[in-house]
Amino acid sequence: MKEIKVGFVIFLFWIVSIWLNTVVFTQFQWFIPNFYFLFATIFILCWKGEGTSYIAMLFGLTQDCFSSLPFGLFAIIFLVISLPLRWYAIKVFQESILALFVVASVGFLLCYSLVALALIVIFNDKSGESGLGNPIIFYEAIATTLFAPAFYYLLKKLDKELKIRFSERKF
């Protein structure tokens, strides 16, 4: 029964991320948070199960579906970022809000720097528009970081209400 509840919570966050990124926040040109990366990061930090890399790849593939970049690029980058984030979640993370802000913003900037690096290596794209050379990325990082505590506590509340116990899963 717990697997069904876990699947429901993941599906709920997946649908909410698609809805927020494609419908709600497309109205604002200056405030565009990346909920795909944010929800993947929150699941990695909260869930002590072994499927966090798969969840990160799911959110990465979803972002690939709505991106103009090559398909699979975000899935691979989310997978690469999920490995050190998982190590951090197991060894260091103590559920503080300040640490959540830092992890979300640094992870997001690392994600887009890896995207820029991949585009430079694969396509010889040196324009800087797709990576950290684009100032919109920093606005997106700030917007993503601002939503981190709210959705972190939402996941914790769902964890408590549905009695899933994300943090008690075995490694």
Q: Show the domains of the chain with their CATH numbers.
A: 2-163 (1.10.1760)
Rounded to whole angstroms, how far apart are CA atoms 136 and 131? 10
106, pLDDT greater than 50: yes
pTM (2 decimals)? Answer: 0.88
Rounded to whole angstroms, how far apart are CA atoms 99 and 30? 25
Q: pLDDT per residue over 65-82, tens digit each?
A: 998 888 999 999 999 999
Rounded to whole angstroms, how far apart are CA atoms 151 and 140? 16
Q: pLDDT per residue over 10-41, tens digit each?
A: 999 999 999 999 998 888 877 889 999 999 99
Report residue 127's pLDDT band, with 50, 70 and 90 as the boundaries: low
Burial 65-102 (b: 16+ CB within 10 A, else e): eeeeeeeebbbbbbebbbeebbeebeeebeeeeeebee
